[in-house]
Chain A
Amino acid sequence: MALPKPDELLQNVNLNRTPSQHWMDIKTEFKPGTYCYAVEPQVMKDLGLPNLGSWQPHDEKWPLPENWKEIVRDAIKTRMERFRSFKLFMDICVRCGACADKCHFFLGTGDPKNMPVLRAELIRSIIKGEFSTFAKLFGRFAGARPLTEDVIKEWFFYFYQCTECRRCSVFCPYGIDTAEVTIIMREILHELGIAIDWAMKPVRFSHFIGNHIGIQPHTMKEIIEYLVADIEEITGVKIEVPFNKKGAEILFVPPSGDYFADPGIYNFMGYLILFHHLGLDYTISTYASESGNFGFFNKLELAKKLHAKIYEEAKRLKVKWILGGECGHMWRVWHQYHNTWYGPVNFLEVPKSPITGTVFEHAKDNKIIHICEFTADLIAHNKIKLDPSRNDHVIVTYHDSCNPARAMGFFEEPRFILKHVCNNFVEMPENTIREKTFCCGSGSGLNTDEYMEMRMRGGFPRANAVEYVHKKYGVNHLACICAIDRAVFPALMNYWVPGVDVCGVHELVGNAIVLDGEKERTTDLRYRPLKGKEEEV
C-alpha cells in the first residue's frame, strides 16, 4: 500500500461533515495502513494468555471462541466492579461534544467515531443494550444496541486508534478520560485473545529477556560501550559505565529505545556524559533494562509484571533510590501506578541529590525521580558546567510528551533545562503545548509500519504546529521526553515538515556539558559540525 502524499492525505477530511448513515449502521472497514496486524498466537501462548490462533483483522470472519459473548459480558462486569472510573464514565457523559474536536485522530481523519465521546459510546451503547432493561426497551433512542461480532471488530479498530494521550480528558467538564476507557477495552479484547503484534512482542521480550526488543545482557553492554567510544572520539574523554554494580547509590533505568535506536542513542550519550561529569555513584542494570512498559498498552496486569523487575533489582543491588530516563507512558506508569503496585518501598531511601543535597520530598514515598527533575535541580544550583553555544546550530522547540504532561504535570523542568543548555528555544502555539499538547499519533503501541497512514493522520496536529514554528522561526529540532516520540517523530517530520530533526532533552545537555579534560569539540554528539566549526570537520 502506498502512502498518499501529504497534500492528498487530508483532502477528504472535513471536520464539519458527518455521514448520512447513523454511526451504529456503519460497518468498520479494514483498509491497509489503518489497522495493526493481529498478534502471533505463539506470543500469547508463551505468556499464558488466550489467543485466537492465526487470523488477521481484515478477515471477513474472526475466529472468536464459541462463548465469546459470555466472555465479553463477564469481562465488562468485572471491570465495572473493579474500576469506579469506568463505571462512572459509562454513566455521566452528557454528550456535550466539548471533546469532539480535541482528538488528534479525529482531526486527522474526520471520522466521527474518533470523537472521544463516540469512542466511549462504542462500549456505552453495549452496556446499555446488554445490561439495562430500560435502555433495551428504547433501543437506539436511548443509545443502546446489541452486542454483535461487528461490534468486536469496531472495538478493535477504534480502541487501537486511541493513543491514551488524555487530551480529551482535559476538556471534559466531568473529566471523563478516554485513556481509561481504552485501557479497559483493550483488556476486554485481550480476554478474547485479541491483541496486536506490535504491542505484544515487546511485552514477551521484556518479560523473558528484559527489554522491548530483546537485547541480551552482553549485547546491551556492547552497545553502550560503542556509545562510550563515540563519546571519547567526540570529547576526548573516556567514560566508565557501571553495570549491575552492588551498593551503588542510584539505580538508573532508561527506556531501551535510548540505547538501541537513533536518535535515542544520542540522548543516552547525554545521560552518560552528565553522570560522568558529576562523578555520580550509579549503576545501570542489564536485568532491569527497560523503563518503558508495553504491558500498559495491553493489560494492566502485564504492566505490573514487567516493572516488578525494577524493584527487585533495586533491592538486590542495595541502591538508595531509583532514577528514570526520559519516556512518556512510562512516566505515567511510574508516577501513577508504581507506588500502588510495588509500595510501600521501604527498602529504599528518600531520593536526595548527592551533588546539591536537594531532597526530592515529592517523591518521598515511592523513591523514584525523573531525570529532568534531577538535572533541573543541578542546573538551578549551578552544578553543571555548560556551554550552551555548542547548541547554537540548533533552534529547538519542545513537545510536551502527552503522559508526563497530563498524568504528571511535567511542564517546567524540561523547559528550564532547555533554556539553559540552548540559546535558541521557541514555543509552539499555545493551544498545542503543555496540557493541550498533541500526541505524536503513534503512542500506546501503535508505532508500527503497517499503520503508517493512520500514524501520519494522527500526528498531523502535532506536525502542523511544528511546521508553524519551522516556517516562522526556522526551528530545526523537536525536543521531547519520550522514547516513542523519538522513535516515531523522525518519520512524521519527514512526511509533514522535512528539515526538522528529533532529539531528547539530554542529548542537548550532553552537547552543552563541558567535561573536565575534554578536547575542543568540533561536532555535536551526532558528528554534525558545531556552529563556526564547519571548516574544521
Chain B
Amino acid sequence: MNVGWSLLAVIVLLLIPWIGVGVLGLDSLFGIVIPYACFLVFIIGLIYKMIYWAKSPQPFKIPTTCGQQKSLSWIKHSRLESPFTTWEVVLRMFFEIVFFRSLFRNLRAELQGRRLIYGSAKWLWLGAILFHWSFFIILLRHLRLFTNPVPEIIQGLDFMDSFLQTLGVPPVYITDVLIIAGLTFLLLRRLVDPKVSYLSHGSDYFPLFLILSIAITGVLMRYAIKVDIYGVKHLTLGLVTLKPTIPDVKIGTIFYIHIFLVSVLAAYFPFSKLCHMVGVFFSPTRNMANNNRYVRHVNPWDYPVKYTTYCEWQERFRDLLEQAGLPIDDEWCKEQQQTQKTQ
C-alpha cells in the first residue's frame, strides 16, 4: 500500500506541470514562481531546522567509541574511531560524511539452526555511495546552467563525467547511469528485504520515487525528448541573476516537469527524513571527542540533587559502625554544618 500511494503521489506531481504548462500554458508559474518559492522554503527550512536542533543543548558528551581510547602512552589509540582532539573528531566526521564509514562496517547476521553466522554486507554501502555521490556530481554539473561563462572546473567535471565518449551522442554521463542504478538498488532493497520492507513507511518510498523521476526526466531531456537548451539556459541564468524571464522559444514541457519535481524535492527536504544531510553534522555520538575525563563537558541545565550525605548516613549507622570498630567522623559533620550556616 505504502509503495502504491507513494508512486501515485509522484505521478500526480508529474501531471501537475504537464497540465499546467502543456495545456494551460502557465510557464511563468512553473518556471519562475514555484522554483523561487520552493528554493526559499528549502533554505529557510534548513536554517530553521538547524536552529531548532541547536536550540536544545547536548547535555552530556556521549561519543560512541568504535576503537581504542587514548589512555596509557604505550597503547596505540584509534584516532578515527575514538577521537581525543577536535582535529581527530573532524577526521572522524569527514570519513563518516564523505565515505559513509559506519555503513561500510555493515554485517549480515543469519541464524542457521542454533548457529549465528555473520557475513560482510557492503551492498547497502555501495548503493548509498553510488546514489549520494552521483547526486552530488550531477548537482555540480548543473552549475553550468547557472553560470556564464561556465567555470573551467565545471567544464572539466562535465568532461570527466562523460569521458566514455564512444557510448553515443550526446555522450552518456556516467553519473546518470550510476544514480539510476543506485536508486533502483535502494528501492528494490526496500521492497525485497523483508526486514526493511516491514519497517518502511510511505514516506520512505516517496523520496525514492521522486528523485528517480527527477533523474529519469533529466535523462529523457538529454537523450530522447530534446528541449531547447538555449531557452533553458536563458531561464536558469535569469533565475540566478534575479532577472527571471520566460524565453520566447518553447522550451518543452518535460523541462517544466523536471524543474517542478526538483522544486517539490527542495521544499520537502527540510521537513522530512532527508534533513539527515545536515542532521548528521549534529550527531553527538559522532561529533564529540572521547576525552570526558580530560576535558569537562558542561550541562547548561544541570541542577543539584539531594543525596544521602555522609553525616546522615553516619547517624543512621552510628551504633553499628562503633560496634564494628569502624571510625566515626563527627569533625566532618561539624564542618559541614558550619559551611551550611555560612552559605
A92 in contact with B280 (CB, 8 Å): yes
A316 in contact with B329 (CB, 8 Å): yes
Work out how many contacts link A and B, with CB atoms closer than 8 A: 317
A115 in contact with B195 (CB, 8 Å): yes
B296 in contact with A15 (CB, 8 Å): no
Tell me, yes or no, whether B19 is within 8 Å of chain A by CB: no
A340 in contact with B56 (CB, 8 Å): no
A335 in contact with B195 (CB, 8 Å): no
We find that the number of chain B residues with CB closer than 8 angstroms to chain A is 102
Give a binary string over B283-313; 1 marks a CB under 8 Å from any A CB, 0 the rest. 1111000111111111101100111111001
Tell me, yes or no, whether A451 is within 8 Å of chain B by CB: no
A365 in contact with B293 (CB, 8 Å): yes
In whole angstroms, what is the CA distance A368 to B107 when docked? 36
A306 in contact with B307 (CB, 8 Å): yes
Tell me, yes or no, whether B165 is within 8 Å of chain A by CB: no
A408 in contact with B321 (CB, 8 Å): no
B313 in contact with A287 (CB, 8 Å): yes
A429 in contact with B194 (CB, 8 Å): no
Stretch in contact with the other chain, from A255-263, A356-364, A519-527: A356-364
B271 in contact with A305 (CB, 8 Å): no
B327 in contact with A244 (CB, 8 Å): yes
Q: How far is the CB of A47 from chain B (nearest CB, A)?
A: 10
Q: Assuming A174-B279, A336-B61, A431-B118, is B307 touching A207 (CB within 8 A)?
A: yes
B100 in contact with A173 (CB, 8 Å): yes
We find that the number of chain A residues with CB closer than 8 angstroms to chain B is 117
A95 in contact with B201 (CB, 8 Å): yes
| Nearest-CB residue, chain B, relative to A411 | B68
Tell me, yes or no, whether B230 is within 8 Å of chain A by CB: no
Give a binary string over B28-64; 1 marks a CB under 8 Å from any A CB, 0 the rest. 0000000000000000000001001111111111111
Tell me, yes or no, whether A208 is within 8 Å of chain B by CB: yes
A173 in contact with B102 (CB, 8 Å): yes
A362 in contact with B293 (CB, 8 Å): yes
Stretch in contact with the other chain, from A52-60, A75-83, A477-485: A75-83
Stretch in contact with the other chain, from A150-158, A307-315, A528-536: A307-315
Tell me, yes or no, whether B155 is within 8 Å of chain A by CB: no
Tell me, yes or no, whether B203 is within 8 Å of chain A by CB: yes
Q: Assuming A91-B275, A97-B196, is B111 touching A10 (CB within 8 A)?
A: yes
A18 in contact with B198 (CB, 8 Å): yes
| Nearest-CB residue, chain A, relative to B291 | A362
Which of A88, A92, A363, A409 has a CB less than 8 Å from the CB of B290?
A409
In the complex, chain B residues whose CB is within 8 Å of the CB of A27 = none
Q: Assuming A115-B195, A177-B62, is B56 touching A84 (CB within 8 A)?
A: yes
B194 in contact with A335 (CB, 8 Å): no
B67 in contact with A409 (CB, 8 Å): yes
Tell me, yes or no, whether A93 is within 8 Å of chain B by CB: yes
A207 in contact with B308 (CB, 8 Å): yes
Give a binary string over A358-395; 1 marks a CB under 8 Å from any B CB, 0 the rest. 10111111101000010011001000000000000000
Give a binary string over A308-344; 1 marks a CB under 8 Å from any B CB, 0 the rest. 1100110010000000000000000001110111011
Give a binary string over A19-39; 1 marks a CB under 8 Å from any B CB, 0 the rest. 100010000000000000000
In the complex, chain B residues whose CB is within 8 Å of the CB of A171 = 102-103, 105-107
B57 in contact with A407 (CB, 8 Å): no
B65 in contact with A405 (CB, 8 Å): yes
B283 in contact with A174 (CB, 8 Å): yes
In the complex, chain A residues whose CB is within 8 Å of the CB of B111 = 10, 13-15, 107, 110
In the complex, chain A residues whose CB is within 8 Å of the CB of B52 = 87
Tell me, yes or no, whether A65 is within 8 Å of chain B by CB: no
B65 in contact with A406 (CB, 8 Å): yes
In whole angstroms, what is the CA distance A386 to B53 when docked? 54
In whole angstroms, what is the CA distance A84 to B60 when docked? 10
Chain A residues engaging chain B, CB cutoff 8 angstroms: 6-7, 10, 13-19, 23, 80-88, 91-98, 100-102, 107, 110, 112, 115, 117-118, 121, 134, 138, 140-143, 166, 169-177, 180, 207-208, 210, 216-218, 221-222, 243-244, 246, 286-287, 301, 304-306, 308-309, 312-313, 316, 335-337, 339-341, 343-344, 358, 360-366, 368, 373, 376-377, 380, 405-413, 416, 429, 431-432, 435-436, 460-461, 464-465
In the A-B complex, the 8 residue pairs with the smallest Cβ-Cβ separation, listed nearest first, are: A409-B69, A409-B65, A218-B324, A92-B279, A141-B202, A175-B285, A409-B82, A143-B201
